[in-house]
């Protein structure tokens, strides 16, 4: 709701502020500004759930509840220690904003390439299955880029939840673990996961838009 819905809102807002000629000339900047603005607000909504998820993942088995509402309740009880609900907001921004900027920019860019070099007839001459296929393929490829861009910050967020790193700053963790390890450890698995996830996110979103009569995202 926040990420995709606000992206549409901010993209439209910035295009109107820039004017038709400028927004056409600098459409990449519009995509980046719109996606960054949307993710800024999306992360505020996401942060409590992200902190809870990381705590569940990094706690030894049996020491922390797994059901969502029980886990959130436990996080509230230990808010002083965990800085719940917004203790991880800054590192979350550092991970998610570049991730989303890459996700939306490269999605829009790759969709444009498909309709410029592969499906060269006017977009509306292709059926919805073809358009949604382009959506999924573009989303998957954009997801691969996203995984690479966001992986170091994602690694830091995960490490912050471990008892051995409790109370340490982002800089301390990065220095101890090493930038190379933060950027590469687990990257292959994440590329597959994020590529598939992003492809299906865009496909679901554009399927909804199509069902509502709005058409798929991107392209001419």
- Cα torsion angle, 189, 192, 195, 199, sign: negative
Taking all residues of the chain, what is their mean pLDDT, rounded to a whole number? 89
Tell me the C-alpha distance between 41 and 213, whole Å.
Answer: 27
Token duo for residue 77? 């009880």
What pLDDT, in 10s, does the model give residues 160-211?
767 766 667 767 777 777 777 777 788 888 889 989 999 999 999 999 999 9
Let me know: does 143 contact 196? Beta carbons within 8 Å. Answer: yes
Using the predicted structure, report yes or no on whether residue 88 has a pLDDT greater than 70: yes
Which whole number is the average pLDDT over 9-29? 94
Using the predicted structure, report yes or no on whether residue 72 has a pLDDT greater than 90: yes
Residue 154: the pLDDT is 75
Using the predicted structure, report yes or no on whether residue 2 has a pLDDT greater than 70: yes
Whole-prediction pTM: 0.78
Tell me the C-alpha distance between 140 and 194, whole Å.
Answer: 8
DSSP output for 16-85: HHH-HHHHHHTHHHHHHHHHHHHHHHHHHHHHHHHHHHHHHHHSPTTSS--SHHHHHHHHHHTHHHH-TT
- Work out the percent of the chain whose per-residue pLDDT is above 90: 63
Tell me the C-alpha distance between 78 and 11, whole Å.
Answer: 39
The larger pLDDT score, comparing residue 10 to residue 59, is at: 10
Domain ranges of the chain: 2-211
């Amino acid at each position: 709701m926040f990420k995709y819905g606000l992206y549409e809102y901010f993209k439209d807002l910035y295009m109107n502020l820039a004017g038709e000629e400028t927004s056409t000339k600098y459409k990449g900047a519009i995509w980046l500004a719109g996606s960054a603005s949307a993710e800024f607000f999306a992360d505020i909504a996401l942060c409590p759930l992200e902190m809870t998820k990381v705590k569940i993942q990094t706690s030894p088995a049996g020491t922390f509840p797994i059901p969502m509402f029980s886990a959130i309740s436990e996080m509230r009880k230990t808010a002083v220690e965990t800085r719940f609900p917004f203790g991880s907001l800054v590192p979350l921004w550092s991970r998610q904003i570049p991730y989303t900027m890459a996700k939306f920019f490269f999605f829009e860019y790759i969709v444009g390439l498909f309709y410029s070099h592969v499906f060269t007839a006017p977009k509306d001459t292709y059926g919805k299955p073809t358009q949604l296929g382009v959506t999924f393929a573009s989303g998957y490829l954009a997801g691969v880029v996203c995984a690479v861009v966001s992986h170091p910050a994602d690694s830091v967020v995960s490490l912050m939840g471990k008892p051995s790193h409790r109370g340490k700053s982002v800089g301390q963790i990065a220095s101890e673990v090493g930038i190379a390890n933060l950027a590469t450890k687990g990257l292959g698995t994440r590329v597959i996961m994020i590529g598939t996830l992003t492809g299906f996110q865009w496909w679901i979103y554009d399927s909804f838009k199509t069902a509502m009569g709005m058409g798929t995202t991107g392209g001419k």
